[in-house]
Structure formats: C-alpha cells, structure tokens
Structure 1
Amino acid sequence: MPWTIAPITLDDADEVGRVHVEVWRQAYAGLMPADHLAGLDPAAFASHWRDRLLAPVPGVEHWLARDETGIVGIATSGPGRDEDRPTPLELYAINVLARGHGTGVSDALLARAVGDRAAYLWVLEGNDRALAFYRRHGFADEGGRKPEPDTGTLEIRMARSDRTP
C-alpha cells in the first residue's frame, strides 16, 4: 500500500485546504461553473478545516490518506444531517486527487470512514466516476435530490444498508 490513513490534525489544515480545493477543481470541472472553481481559496478552506478541528462535533470523523508526496485524499463522516435521512450515518465526503485514482485509496478511506455500516451520501449529478465507485460499494440512488448550496448543481442522495455479516 503506497499510502497511510490517519486522523486529520491541526498540523494538516493548510495542506488539507489546498488538497480539498485541488480535488474539487479536478473532479468538478465541467460539473460546476468554471468561475466558481477558479475562485475557491485554499487558505479559506484551510481556515474552515482549522475551525472544524478546534470545535469537533460529536461523532464526526476526519481522515486523510498520505502517499510519498503528501496528502492524496480526505474523508469525513458523521451523524446524518438531513431531516429525512435514510440512515443515521452520513458519509459527508471523500475527496481524492487524480493521482490517487485507481490505487485503492478511495476504498481505504471509505472503509475507515463508514466501514460496512449502513450509510448515505450526496454526490453531484454527472460525477460518473464517483457514482460508479459508490455503486460498487453497495450504494444506490434512493431518490433524494437537492441543489449544491454554492452553485445550484444538482446532488443525488445514495444510500446502502448495513453490510456486516
């Protein structure tokens, strides 16, 4: 395995902010407005990460994957945030740089963030790579739809039941 998984710490905030923006620009090109993606600020993202880490929410977990050149991906999960949540656990995000695609790092982040538990998530409509990944892990479109808050881009809710034997 060319990477390690660990909890995100305050010392990681600047790099996590930079990686978070870079992943969005890579993954959402053509799905979100180009001017929105170009205007994302790594320093602002880092500040948000510091805020999250300094004021942790019970049950919320933040993970990173680090390879030989730095952070390659991040994942966050916690209590479902939707009034009509289909399961108690929500996968808030998995964000992996293109250099990590096909390496298994996304699988490892998902395993750490939710394991085999029942969970749900939101994914941008048209993000075919992510949709295929989540389907491969037992998630299915359960009908929920909402606009992404900053751009209005449609998000699809996917869920799966408990997969523990």
Structure 2
Amino acid sequence: MAEATVRPAVPADAGEIARIQLDTWRTAYADLLPEAVLEGLDAEQAALTWRQTIEQGPALVFVAVEGPYLVGFCAAGPAPQDETADAAGSPAKDVETVALVSTLLVEPRWGRRGHGGRLLAEAGRAMRDAGSTRGITWVPEADKATLGFFERARWVRDGTVRTLDAGGRPLREVRMTGTLSIELI
C-alpha cells in the first residue's frame, strides 16, 4: 500500500471531493435512493458547495490521500441545535460542545484500508481542539457498512431517528454519538 495520509482540504480539492461524493452515493446508495435522485446529482454544483465550505466553513473538511490519489473526505463542525435535539425537539444539554460529522465518505474501491478511521480520528482531534466534547452523525438505517464503521469507532445509536424525503421515497436515518478521541487499531 502506498503512503496514506489525511490533511485539511484546500479549495482545489473541491472538484475531486464532489466526484468522490457523487460516485460513492451512486454506488453505495443505489438501493437507498431513487435512481432519479442519483441521476440528478450535479457535479459542478456539488464542487461549488464544497469549495464554499472549505473556504468559509462552518465545517472543517479533511481529505484522505493514498499515494497521489484523493480517496475520501470528511466534513465536521459544530452541531446545529436542531441536530442535537431529542425526538420531542429539546436540545441536548451539551449542545454547545457537540460536533456534527456531516459527511464521511471513502470511495468504495479504496475501502477497508483505514482511510475512514484516519479521517474520523483527524476530524475528532480538530473538533476536540475547537472545544467539542462528543460527536454525532446521521446514518441511513439500511446502510449496514457505515453503521458498522461507527460502531467499531465506539459510537452508539442514541435512540433518535428521523425520516427524510428522498425524492418521494422515505429515508430513515439513525443518529449515532460517540467519542472524538478515536483510537486507530
């Protein structure tokens, strides 16, 4: 295996981040999202959004690199109050120190090589440095691979679920929470 690293994303990475996002969604979420939704994803718009996020935040974006290839990315930042709320809408008592891992994707052909763990560990370190005490993320309930990844990182389902409208098809997501001190094994 070539040298694998994680680094902060730079604006020039936006196009490759968008490509990874769209390719990964089209592969990994083909059974979860309607074909029309996946076909309607716009690479240029996604790249513009990622460039703005990298330049302006509020999330920090990290990229995984293996040799010369960008193979995955993670976006994490302060969790909006509504993302920490319980089913009744009450915000978490620690809302001010909760980080949201909004996206963590590794291109499937580069999977099972430790990139996801390195991305989560680096995002966790940055969020701890910014004052966060724990993390949350939302995962499609049917996405067993991602659920398993976060469980191996010692994150747990906190009992909160939400259902999104995914192009006319309901997409049920579970919220997971866990430590920002990720130990790579």
TM-score interval, normalised by the smaller of the two chains: 0.7 to 0.9
**1:154 and 2:153 correspond:** no
Equivalent-residue separation in structure 1 for 2:74 and 2:179 (angstroms): 20
**Sequence identity percentage:** 26
SS in 1 for 2:25: helix
SS at match of 2:50: helix
2:49 equivalent in structure 1: 48
1:8 maps to what in 2?
A: 9
State whether residues 76 and 123 of structure 2, in contact with CA within 8 Å, keep that contact through their aligned partners in structure 1.
yes
Which one is further off, 84-93 or 117-126?
84-93
Match of 2:138 in 1: 122
Residue 26 of structure 1 contacts residue 97 of structure 1 at CA under 8 Å; is this kept in 2?
Answer: no
- State the number of aligned residues: 162
Q: Is the 8 A contact 2:33 2:166 kept in 1?
A: no
- Alpha-carbon spacing, 1:27–1:82, altered in 2? closer, same or farther (3 Å): farther
Gaps in structure 2 of 5+ consecutive residues: 86-90
- Give the structure-2-normalised TM-score: 0.79
Q: Which has the greater radius of gyration?
A: 2
Alpha-carbon distance in structure 2 between the residues aligned to 1:82 and 1:149: 21
User: What amino acid does structure 2 have at the position aligned with 1:79?
Assistant: P
SS at match of 1:126: coil
* TM-score w.r.t. length of structure 1: 0.87
Structure 1, 20-29 or 127-136: larger mean CA deviation = 20-29
- One-letter code of the match for 1:121? T
CA distance in 2: counterparts of 1:163 and 1:54, whole angstroms: 26
